[in-house]
Amino acid sequence: MQYYVLLLLTVLFWSGNFIVGRYISSEISPMELSFYRWFIVLVILLPFFIFHFKNIMQVFKKQYLNIILLGALSVTGFNTFLYYGLQTTTATNALLINSSTPIFIILFSALILKTTMSKVQWLGIVLSTFGVVYLILKGEIDHFFDLTFTSGDLWIIAACIDWALYSVLLKFKPKELNAFEFLTVTTIIGVVIIYGVFLYQGYSFSFDFVKNDDVLYSMIYIVIFPSLLSFYFWNISTPQVGANKAGQFAHIMPISGAALAYIFLDEVLYFYHLIGLILIFLGIYLSIFYKRKVF
């Protein structure tokens, strides 16, 4: 039972990341939030890196291209896309669109891992895709031909695709690295890449954001809960309950996140949110849970 509680806490913390990211979106730029979040995580992980330096570097020398790609997708890409999206879309919309990630995982699994899919699973993909489009269009199907997509919604879709690709490529994660070693080395890679983009966009290294209490306290939450604790809880619980059962907890995020957005951000829940949610979850059920052998 304790592992299920930890998994529940994990997805609740991740849902909070969407809420907090939206809450401070006008106070700090997406690039700054992404960089400082992971830079602080890196500082915390540095003692662990030093202690495990020999093994990490031996594995990195052998599989550096693989590790760099995984670090770029997870630490650099996903979080940066997410925070850009949260500047111009609601946290509720972002969480609902995020529900389409398993569908992209199935598609990448078929393309990269040559996983076969049944007709029912394809039907699930179609339903979830329609649900995402319906959600993005705010329930106004007539706007489909006008392509009235917001930049925030498109950034969230990019984040979903990024995380799906990362999840599939995790199959090739170096087995010689344990969970924390892998997190440490990918964090280093991700921070290096983000810092390069950070400088290219004209930012300079500064901790001025600590003067803003909202940003400071939000950053503390993001670093401790969605970053460090969530990864730790996920890593120790998933082997105990199995990947399939653990993965189902991710689908709690839209529900818990929408509730948090309603409570803390005063975001309104509309009827189109319900329709989009139903279509996405029906598609996920048909494409994933109806035939679990796909994974």
Q: Please write the tens of the pLDDT for every residue from 167-183.
A: 888 788 888 998 889 89
Domain assignments of the chain as residue spans, ordered by start: 1-116+149-237
Torsion of the alpha carbons at 14, 19, 23 and 26, rounded to the nearest 10: 70
Q: What is the pLDDT of residue 293?
A: 47
- For residues 166 and 215, what is the distance between their CA atoms, to the nearest angstrom? 28
Q: How far apart are CA 17 and CA 19, in angstroms?
A: 5
Most confident region among 76-90, 188-202, 257-271 by mean pLDDT: 188-202
Q: What is the pLDDT of residues 19-62, one digit of tens each?
A: 888 888 888 988 999 999 999 999 999 999 999 999 999 999 99
pLDDT of residue 110: 81
In the prediction, which pLDDT does 59 show?
95
How far apart (Å, rounded) are the C-alpha atoms in residues 96 and 58? 41
> What pLDDT digit, counting tens, does each position of 104-157 carry?
877 888 888 887 767 777 777 777 777 766 766 666 666 556 555 678 888 999
Asked whether residue 295 carries a pLDDT value surpassing 50, the answer given is no
pTM of the model: 0.79
Q: Single out the residue of 39, 77, 76 nearest to residue 209, CA to CA.
A: 39
Tell me which DSSP letter residue 290 carries: T
